[in-house]
Each structure stands twice: as C-alpha cells, then as structure tokens.
C-alpha cells in the first residue's frame, strides 16, 4: 500500500526493498518510519529488517503471506489501556505470539512553525497519552493513522499553525522542529508490544525460561460461568496477570475474555487450570506461549 504521506514514501520504499531481499529476516510494524513501533522493532529484534505497513492488518498480512518472518504490534499502554481492535485482530490473524517487549514511550510536539498551534495530529493512543498537555494549551487533537505519519503529514501540509505529536526521530526524518519534548502526561508511560509469527514457539525453545501464555475464551451463557471457568487457576496456583472482556457479534449474549497467565502448557498445574476453564467455556484458544520480557508481580 502507498497510503503513507509523501515525505515518508521514499523511506518506506527503501525499507521495503531491504526487507524484500530476505523476507524471513524482516519484521513488520504498523506506521511510518520513525513511529514508536519502528523503534520497538529495531530495539526488540535488531537482527531483523523493519518493514513499515500502513495498518495493523497490513502488518499481520505481511507475516501471513511471507513478506515478513514476524510482526511487532502494540497491545496495551500503561496510561491509555489496550490498543483499539487488537484483541479482535490477533485471534483472527491465525498467528502465534512468540515474544513480548516493553518500551518506555516519550512523545514530542513538533512542527514547521514555532506556535501557537491550532491543532496537533497524532495516533489516538498518543493523543490520549498527551490529553492534559493539549488541553492546557488549547490545542485541538486530530487523529492520524500513526504518530510518525502525522509528522510526515504536517511536513507535507506545510502549515506552520499545526503540529504533530510523535517520537523525536520523526522530526529528524521529516524536517520538523521539536517544540517540546516529553509531552506525555505520565513520566512512566510504557507500551507493551507482542511479537507474532506463523509458527508457535517450540517447547524445547521455551525450556528453563519464565513463561507467559496468552489465550482467549468465551464463557457459556449460564449463571456463574466466569466464576467456574476461572476457579481452576486459583485452585492450581496459576497466576493470571491480565483479564479483559470484549464482545463479538451483536447478540451480547456471551462475552469473550482475553487473558495472560504465568506459565505454559506442559506444566501440570497450567494444564489442569486450562482444562477446567475449557470445560466451562464454549471455546478456548491459546494465542501463544513465550518468554517473559519482564517479571510480573
């Protein structure tokens, strides 16, 4: 897709050419060059060539059709919660989570002019993470497909009265001036990314490591279904570190849950807990087992 702003296209084409030379050693990410996902890709897997994709769906498709060996996708932020739609996209992709990466997030306000600014473009997540900063200055937040793409768009638009909120690297790439650094509302702003591949991690590759397992399950539409499905984790001493609900379809009759636990299938306690959860659920599907990037608890 060539849906990137003009100033980003030449960089995108160069990065795509490098990735195409050895697709198995490419890692797809959503956004223009200079986006937080670009930085996460280079930090988490410096041995792979970053492949920019316009949307999350495009990044996942790049792995499915063999243009990349892996993809790195933001899944949740400490300030702004889960990334929209990601819980739908991961199960639908058919890919497996094979790793995770935590990255501190710092945003900069950048522009062609020196201000004051009428509006600032950025990804909705970045706008949400900087909402107090924007409100205090009377700057209208305007959504864009990604942070660095917003910077490229501001450069392309040529209007000194609008700004972008993006990583500092984007200012360098697209010829903008950084007006203010660290405009995020919380100094400990952190995003968790997951790394996905076509094949799950082999059990022998996980041996001896502290592991996480991510799965989804849909409870039966009966009283106490959630209570019963989760009981096995408590009785078997399996620590569940994340549980989020979301609706699929329009019936609103039953809820699907996205969960992270410490441990992996093959551990008898985890096997018993998952078996009990599956018994009380309409469906349970494991999205991946992988090494912890940082301790929980």
CATH number at residue 118: 3.40.190.10
Rg of the chain (C-alpha set): 21
Which residue numbers are catalytic? 191, 193
- Residue in 25, 32, 82, 96 with CA at minimum distance from that of residue 58: 32
Average pLDDT, the chain: 93
If one counts the domains in the chain, the total is 3
Closest CA to 111 of 18, 64, 178, 156: 178
Percentage of the chain beyond pLDDT 90 is 82
- CA distance linking residue 195 with residue 138, whole number of Å: 37
Relative orientation angle of helices 225-235 and 268-279, to the nearest 10 degrees: 170
Select the more confidently predicted residue: 147 or 3.
147
249 part of a folded domain: yes
Residues 91 and 122 in one domain: no
Residue 202 lies in a domain: no
- Over residues 208-253, the pLDDT tens digits come to 999 999 999 999 888 898 999 999 999 999 999 999 988 776 666 6
Same structural domain for residues 137 and 94? no
Domain assignment present for residue 73? The answer is yes
Mean pLDDT of all residues in 253-259: 83
Confidence (pLDDT) at 251: 62
Quick one: average pLDDT of 266-284? 96
Structure confidence at residue 1 (pLDDT): 46
**Domain assignment present for 18:** yes
pTM tops 0.85, yes or no: yes
Helix, strand, coil shares, percent, the chain, to 5: 35, 30, 35
Q: What is the pLDDT of residues 89-105, one digit of tens each?
A: 888 899 999 999 999 99
* Residue range of the domain that includes 92: 6-104+190-197
In this model, does residue 166 exceed pLDDT 80?
yes
Q: What is the pLDDT of residue 80?
A: 76
Q: Does residue 30 form part of some domain?
A: yes
Q: Which of 10-14, 79-83, 149-153, 194-198 is predicted with the least confidence, judged by mean pLDDT?
A: 79-83
For the stretch 8-46, pLDDT in tens is 999 999 999 999 999 999 999 999 999 999 999 999 999
Identify whether residues 117 and 71 lie together within a single domain: no
């Amino acid at each position: 897709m060539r849906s990137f702003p003009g100033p980003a296209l030449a960089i995108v084409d160069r990065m795509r050419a490098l990735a195409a030379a050895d697709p198995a050693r490419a890692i797809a990410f959503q956004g223009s060059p200079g986006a937080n996902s670009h930085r996460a890709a280079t930090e988490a897997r410096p041995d792979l060539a970053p492949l920019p994709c316009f949307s999350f769906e495009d990044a996942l498709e790049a792995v499915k059709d063999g243009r990349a060996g892996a993809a790195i996708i933001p899944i949740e932020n400490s300030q702004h919660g889960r990334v929209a739609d990601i819980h739908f996209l991961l199960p639908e992709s058919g890919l497996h989570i094979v790793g995770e990466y935590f990255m501190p997030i710092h945003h900069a306000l950048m522009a062609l002019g020196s201000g004051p600014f009428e509006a600032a473009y950025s990804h909705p997540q970045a706008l949400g993470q900087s909402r107090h900063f924007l409100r205090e200055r009377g700057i209208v937040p305007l959504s864009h497909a990604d942070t660095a793409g917003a910077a490229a768009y501001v450069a392309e638009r040529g209007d000194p009265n609008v700004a972008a909120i993006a990583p500092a690297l984007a200012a360098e790439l697209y010829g903008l001036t950084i007006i203010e650094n660290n405009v995020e509302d919380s100094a400990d702003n952190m995003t968790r990314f997951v790394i996905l591949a076509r094949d799950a991690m082999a059990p022998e590759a996980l041996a001896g490591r502290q592991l996480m397992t991510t799965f989804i399950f849909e409870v039966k539409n009966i009283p106490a279904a959630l209570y019963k499905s989760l009981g096995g984790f408590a009785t078997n001493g399996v620590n569940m570190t994340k549980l989020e609900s979301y609706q699929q379809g329009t019936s609103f009759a039953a809820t699907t849950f996205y969960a992270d636990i410490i441990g992996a299938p093959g551990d008898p306690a985890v096997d018993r807990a998952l078996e009990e959860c599956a018994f009380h659920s309409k469906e349970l599907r494991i999205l991946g087992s992988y090494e912890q990037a940082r301790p929980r608890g």
